[in-house]
Structure formats: structure tokens, C-alpha cells
Structure 1
Amino acid sequence: MAFDMTAEEIRRIEALARSKSPLIVCDVDEVVLEFVAPFIRFLESREHEFRSDSFHLTGNIYVKNTGHPVEKKNISRFLNDFFAEHDGWQTPVSEARASLQSLEAEHGAEVVFLTAMPPRHHARRRGLLDAHGLTQPMIATEDAKGQALAVLLQTHPDRPVAFLDDLPANHLSILEAAPATLALHMMAYEPLRRHLPPLPDGVKSVKDWPQARTEISTFLANTAGLR
């Protein structure tokens, strides 16, 4: 897998992979950091607008002064531009930090952020998370998320895992790698939920971090006696 991170971050990830502790794997965009809302503001600053008519970015971004939809290749350019300066736009999802800290303290869980973005943006995202007290280790990768989880479970494949993400395809990848995972779907930008495709079997939807914290806490308490 292609990772671009400091030696210290690699050391943290390697230590995490050797641990037997319960593992909480968190997507970043729409789970730990707001993504859609700040991306909409970013587009507006460039004379474009976002219409939540479907679950996809393609077909939902329009030129303001003409009303014409933006082509897919230009959407990729917007995303690249956004990630190049995302630390000036994104802020944490409500209760994310407090919930993760609570789960770490109460259950001895370890947290890793698994973000689907070009690894070249790792340092900028790492700095943004640290600035908001979200200091847990992070992996930035464009590979399937199940591949990253498989690496983390090589030493102790039976450790309990909870996974949070906004995209159904990522849940499928994770559940293929570790079928016993507690898979929770979370999406901070509420207007897109009505366009969400069916979730894969075994994935439960949660509306916010307080609900996610309850689900994960119950799961970890139930698995504690099995370890």
C-alpha cells in the first residue's frame, strides 16, 4: 500500500498493528471532519454551486452564472484544489473528539483514522486533526480500506473492530476483510441521506456521534468477555 507519512507516524501505525486492544477505525470526511458543507462553501467561493439531487458529486455541481453542470474531469480538479487547502475549510464533526476519547478511556480501545485521499495530503490533514485535538494515528490511502484493515489485523486478527464511514462501498471492503466488524454508517451532511443507496447487510446507520458512541460501547462491552 502507498503511504506517505513521517517515520513517527509509521512507528505509531506499526505499534497499533501489534496491539491486542479493541480497534476503532474512523473515516475522516463526513465522520470526524465536516466535508460536504465546507466543500459547498469552497465551490461557492469559486462561483459554483452544489445541489444535493443525488448521492454523487458528478451531476450535482453547477456553474452559478450559467446553470450548466460541471464535467467529471473538472470535479476532480475541484477536489484536488480543495484537498490542497482543506485545512482552511474543514472543522470537526460535533462530539467526535469527546466520543473517541470516552471510548478510549472506558474500553481501552485504540483509534486509527483511515482517510481515502491522496497520501501526498497526509501532512496537511495530520496537522488539521492535531490542531483540533484529534491526535490518534492516521492512514491516508487511495487503496481499498479493507486492505488497510487487513494490515492492521495481521498480528491479532481476532481483536474487536468497529468501523465508521459514510460510503457503502467502504463498508463492503471492510466487511470482506473482517466480517465480525461492527460497521456503522455515519454522514454529517444530513441532506444527502435521502439519496443514500441501500447499505450492505450488517451495516447499521447512526445519525450522530452520541449514537455511535453508544453502539460501539455496547459492542466492546459484549466482546470484552470473549477476549
Structure 2
Amino acid sequence: MISEITQGQLAGLHLTGRPLVICDVDEVIVHFTRDFEDYIGLHGLWLDTSSFALNGNIRQRETNAPAPDAQVAELIGSFFETRTRHMQEIDGAVAALLAFGERADVVLLTNLPHTAGDHRRENLKSHGLPYPVVTNSGPKGPAIHALAARAANTTVFIDDSPAFIASAHEFAPEVHLVHFLHDQRFARHIDPLDYVALRTDSWAEARPFVMSLISTMPGA
């Protein structure tokens, strides 16, 4: 269930035995929706936020008809190819992750085309983040399970996607889950998940909560 490319990246990671923080990137560390809306606007499209989805919610500005799924997939691919290197930080993300890195191993687990992985690494380094970036495809649970099994200490996973949070709970139920929903236009459509340790929309709240988890465990 883990692609060969992702398996290779996971195998190359060195974990120290300290706590482990696994963090998503889009809409958690850097703005995605804001930049994507700008990008599709150049193609005569707009993003309908009446439900939590992209397919069916990207609409033609002139007719309001939804863009075909094939066009949406093409737009997402071209967006990541052209815009990934320039994506901007969500307030507080970098400072929080650097603070985590003083007490824990940090791995950035991101679903985007593997071909855009180096663009993502370049962008995150430009924001001052030195952590390894693992590109993934499909559910994140198997990769989180593989990482948590090697951590030998508490593991925290931070993501905005309810599907990825659910996948993490399925494959690695021992992991502490932080559901980070920065964009309230989409957050309002998502019911609370009872297995989530914290649901939040800001790093001002997420940072002290994660620090409390990684500071109180053995080996921190």
C-alpha cells in the first residue's frame, strides 16, 4: 500500500528514538487553497466551498458548471509543478515546527506528485525548515504506521484532511492526531472526529498542545 518511491524515502530516514512529529504540508505549513484559487482564476474558474472537495467544486466562471474531473486533475498537477516553490507559510507554522525539532524528530509527509517533491523541499528550506520531506500517494496511514513503528517513543500526526486523519487512526491507532483545519470555509463541513486529540485552526493552539505531548514522554 506504500509506493516504491515512498518506501525508498522512508528507508532513508534516520530516527533518533526521540518523540516523532509527522506533519502534513498543504494547508498546514503552507497556504494551498488561497494560491490554488488564484491559479484556477487564471483559467476562468472559481472554487465553490459549499462542500469539502475539489472535484465538482471547481466551476466555470461563465456558466457555473463544474469542471470535468480530468481537467481538475490536470490543473492540480500543473499547479504543483509551477507554484510549489513559491508557496507561503501559514502564520506560526515554521516557528512551531522548529520548536518541535528541539525535542523530537520531525518528518514532513506530503501528498503531491513525486515529480514536485524537490520543489517542495526547496520551498520548505527557503522557509527555514531543515526536516526530511517524504512524498506520498494515496492514504497516509500505511506510511504513518511504518514511521511510528520505528519511533520507539510517542508519535504525533498533524493534517487537515479528514481522510488522512482517519487513515492514520486505522493503521496507527496509538498515534496522537491533530486535525488542523485552517480554512473555516471547509472546516464547517467536517464533523468532529472522536479519536482526534486536538482539532484546531491555528498554530497558536496547536504548538503548545504538541509540545506538551512531546515534552512529557520518556526520552524527550
CA distance in 2, matches of 1:55, 1:197: 11
Partner Cα distance (2:192, 2:124) in 1? 30
Relative to 1, partners in 2 of residues 1:36 and 1:200: Cα closer, same or farther, differing over 3 Å? farther
Further displaced range: 145-154 or 177-186: 145-154
Count of aligned pairs between the two proteins: 218
Match of 1:91 among 75, 79, 88: 88
Q: Does structure 2 retain, via aligned residues, the 8 Å contact 1:26–1:111?
A: yes
Is the contact made by 2:110 and 2:133 (CA closer than 8 Å) also made in structure 1?
A: yes
Mapped contact 2:37–2:46 kept (Cα < 8 A) = yes
Aligned to 1:15: 14
Unaligned runs of 5+ in 1: none
Partner AA of 1:2 in structure 2: S
* 1:219 equivalent among 207, 213, 219: 213
CA distance in 2, matches of 1:70, 1:104: 41
User: Does the aligned pair in 1 maintain the 2:100–2:106 contact within 8 Å?
Assistant: no
Q: Tell me which of 61, 69, 82 is aligned to 2:79.
A: 82
2 CA distance for matches of 1:98 and 1:3?
32
Q: Which runs of 5+ in 2 are unaligned?
A: none
Is 1:163 the counterpart of 2:157 in the alignment? Answer: yes
User: How many percent of aligned residue pairs carry the same amino acid?
Assistant: 27
Distance (Å, rounded) in 2 between the aligned partners of 1:39 and 1:128: 16
Instruction: Please list the CA deviations of residues 3-45 of structure 1 after superposition, one character each: whole Å capped at 9, or x if unmatched.
Output: 658x9x778x4212xx211000000111011111110011111
Q: TM-score, normalised by structure 2?
A: 0.89
Alpha-carbon RMSD? 2.2
Aligned mate of 1:183, from 161, 174, 177: 177
Secondary structure of 1:162 counterpart: strand
Deviation at 1:190, TM superposition (A): 2.3
Question: Taking structure 1 as reference, are residues 88 and 149 closer, same or farther at Cα in structure 2, changes over 3 Å only?
Answer: closer
Amino acid at match of 1:193: A
Task: Provide TM-score, normalisation by structure 1.
Answer: 0.87
Correspondence list, 1:97-136, <5 A: 97-105=94-102, 108-136=103-131
Asked if 1 retains the 8 angstrom alpha-carbon contact of 2:13 and 2:132, the reply is no
Does the 8 Å contact 1:2/1:119 carry over to 2? Answer: no
